[in-house]
Structure 1
Amino acid sequence: MATATPALTGTSASADTATTSATPGGWRRARPWAMPLIGLGVSLAFLWPYLVMLLGAFRPSSDVVQTPASVLPRVWKWTTFPEVLGDERFLAWLRTSVVVALASTAIVVVVAIPAAYFTARFRFRGRMAFLFLVLVTQMFSPTSLVVGIYREFFTVNLVNTYLALILTNAAFNLAFAIWILHGFFASIPRELEEASELDGCGRVGTLWRVMLPLTLPGLVTATIFTFIAAWNEYVVALTLMLDDSRKPLTVGINSYVTGYEQNWDQLFGASLIAIVPVVILFALIEKHLVGGLTSGAVK
């Protein structure tokens, strides 16, 4: 009997363990329906401001400021978006944003690719100092430099020009693009370049035909972030662009609500239209963007 007791005890413990593991806890039972509800709540919290803007675009301005506030419009107005799209001022602001964002992104990509490739593949004196300098430029906010930027462009007579905004946006986004592309180029084995050179490709041909396709996720990431930063820039544009017809969307749409007129419905409608290009861009290149952000996480 004495020798059988441990065996019985072990058997009982094993049975208790099996029973415990077979019976899921309270969280395990609730997780299949609790997690979707939590995700839905978080999604609604992020989407609520956009829903407020959408509903605000479908109500008269007098209804927006009326108290007590109501979630749904008291009176529905369906002409807001046609009014905004037919506004010559809005079309001018949209044109400025498109031109500045595309030109800034193009400059950043053209400059960042050779700079990142050269610093990743060649060792030269001052290389680390150059990379450190590129990183330091990310620490300065355009807001803290806006007075100096205005003074510099005023000296060369570039205030109130597209070129001023393009150069400023390109300068402030170039460092990020160089750093992210530098990491991608550095991760590519040198044997691929050597094989390409043996096949007759020169340095430029290797960069164009071998390296760039392999760094496509990083290139897409740098491109989309540069475009969004230029598209959303506000402080420098507010300072440099004096002519109302040359202002970008971020600055121009504030003209809908001033001390003399309050067109809240048009402000909400213009804001929603300004979001559309970025949303479409994300939808088109989402898989490349996720690959660029997560590259290197798994070896």
Structure 2
Amino acid sequence: MAHTTQHAPQHTAQHAGHHAAPRTHRGMPRLKTTVTAAAAYLIGLFFLFPYLVMVLISLRPQDELRKAEWFPERWDLSAITGFWSGGLADNLVVSLQVAFGSTLLVLLVALPAAYYTSRHHFRGRTFFLLLVLITQMFQPTAMVVGIYREFYQFGLVDSIVALILVNGGFNLAFAVWILNAYFSSIPRELEEAAFIDGNGRLGALFRITLPLAMPGVITALIFTFIAAWNEFVVALTLATSPQNQPLPVALHSYMGQYSVDWQGLFAGSVIATIPVIILFALIERKVVGGLTAGSIK
């Protein structure tokens, strides 16, 4: 009995010391997390700084543009209100139509093409994918003369349809490649299990494959939308009338031969970034949700 009494405190002390030791290292993960978060915020502020300058200049009166102060003495909203009253709102609608139309066209063509090439190893498959990749190497600037001549023969110059077709065509290769990679990474056994449950090819595609490939679909969507939204050279060539010009081309009107309306230019640029921000805010959660959606029955 005495022997048990002598060793019990020792065992208890060792057991308590064994569990108390890791407490001394809890400060390191917290410090690492704090430093990482601080670095992330600094990097974020670094990239947001040009947009902050753009907003401040758009709200600065013309007589204060040359002053060194960060904030103006008085705020001026005339550039932002002038954007809507000056007719540029119609150009904003044209940009939305071109961007959404090009994105929809790319997804409608790239999804079946990427799915078929990932699930069927037909003769010439590698050559087909390489041919699709080669088309990505051609720049619209080098082909703008041929593009204009082709659409002129079809009577599509100065039309929104022409801009949708061009932007869709130049972004199709990237969408096919990235979607093909996502579809190829999804095990076929998941689709075969869906076949056993009574689903057809389309049912397995929409219920199993597409939810798992949603991050790739969202990536292709974002890439195509931003590329079509920012495209300038082809839009400047094909859209000959001011009412059919996308917003990036219409903003060029603020730049004259001898002067530049910086306040109006930056106000239009601020408004041009809002649709992209809204797009990211709407689909950001779906990118994370698509990583695991559809994998559990």
TM-score over 0.5 for the pair = yes
- 1:61–1:262 contact (8 Å) kept in structure 2: no
- Residue in structure 2 matched with residue 81 of structure 1 by the alignment: 80
- Residue in structure 2 matched with residue 16 of structure 1 by the alignment: none
TM-score of the two chains, using structure 2 as the length reference:
0.80
CA distance in 1, matches of 2:183, 2:100: 24
- 1:102–1:227 contact (8 Å) kept in structure 2: yes
Q: CA deviation at 1:48?
A: 2.1
Equivalent pairs counted in the alignment come to: 266
Q: CA deviation at 1:39?
A: 4.6
* 2:99 paired with 1:101: yes
CA distance in 2, matches of 1:32, 1:214: 30
Name the stretch that deviates more: 220-229 or 279-288. Answer: 279-288
Q: CA deviation at 1:210?
A: 2.1
Q: CA deviation at 1:195?
A: 2.0
- Residue in structure 2 matched with residue 47 of structure 1 by the alignment: 48
- Residue in structure 2 matched with residue 274 of structure 1 by the alignment: 272
Structure 1: where are the runs of 5+ without partners?
A: 1-21, 23-27, 294-299
- Residue in structure 2 matched with residue 215 of structure 1 by the alignment: 213
CA distance in 1, matches of 2:266, 2:119: 49
- Residue in structure 1 matched with residue 137 of structure 2 by the alignment: 139
Secondary structure at the residue paired with 2:240?
Answer: coil
Q: Which amino acid aligns with 2:81?
A: P
- Residue in structure 2 matched with residue 128 of structure 1 by the alignment: 126
Q: Which amino acid aligns with 1:198?
A: I
CA distance in 2, matches of 1:49, 1:193: 47
CA distance in 2, matches of 1:168, 1:187: 30
* 2:185 paired with 1:187: yes
Q: CA deviation at 1:230?
A: 0.8
- Residue in structure 2 matched with residue 244 of structure 1 by the alignment: 242
Secondary structure at the residue paired with 2:142?
Answer: helix
* 2:158 paired with 1:157: no
- 2:211–2:290 contact (8 Å) kept in structure 1: no
CA deviation string 1:128-178 (max 9, x = no partner): 000011111111221221122112112222111111100010001111111
- 2:212–2:290 contact (8 Å) kept in structure 1: no
Q: CA deviation at 1:61?
A: 2.8
CA distance in 2, matches of 1:239, 1:45: 35
- Residue in structure 1 matched with residue 21 of structure 2 by the alignment: none
CA distance in 2, matches of 1:177, 1:97: 20
Q: CA deviation at 1:181?
A: 0.9
Q: CA deviation at 1:38?
A: 5.0
Name the stretch that deviates more: 146-155 or 251-260. Answer: 251-260
CA deviation string 1:26-76 (max 9, x = no partner): xx9x97887666555433332221111111111223432x3x544322443
CA distance in 2, matches of 1:230, 1:277: 13
Structure 2: where are the runs of 5+ without partners?
A: 1-23, 292-297
Secondary structure at the residue paired with 2:71?
Answer: coil
- 2:79–2:264 contact (8 Å) kept in structure 1: yes
Secondary structure at the residue paired with 2:143?
Answer: helix
- 1:218–1:292 contact (8 Å) kept in structure 2: no
- 1:237–1:247 contact (8 Å) kept in structure 2: yes
Match of 1:198 among 189, 196, 200: 196
TM-score of the two chains, using structure 1 as the length reference:
0.80
* 2:116 paired with 1:118: yes
The 1:63/1:292 distance shift into structure 2, 3 A limit, reads farther
- Residue in structure 1 matched with residue 70 of structure 2 by the alignment: 71
CA distance in 2, matches of 1:102, 1:123: 32
The 1:42/1:127 distance shift into structure 2, 3 A limit, reads same
CA distance in 2, matches of 1:224, 1:114: 19
The 1:288/1:32 distance shift into structure 2, 3 A limit, reads closer
Q: CA deviation at 1:246?
A: 0.7
- 2:247–2:272 contact (8 Å) kept in structure 1: yes
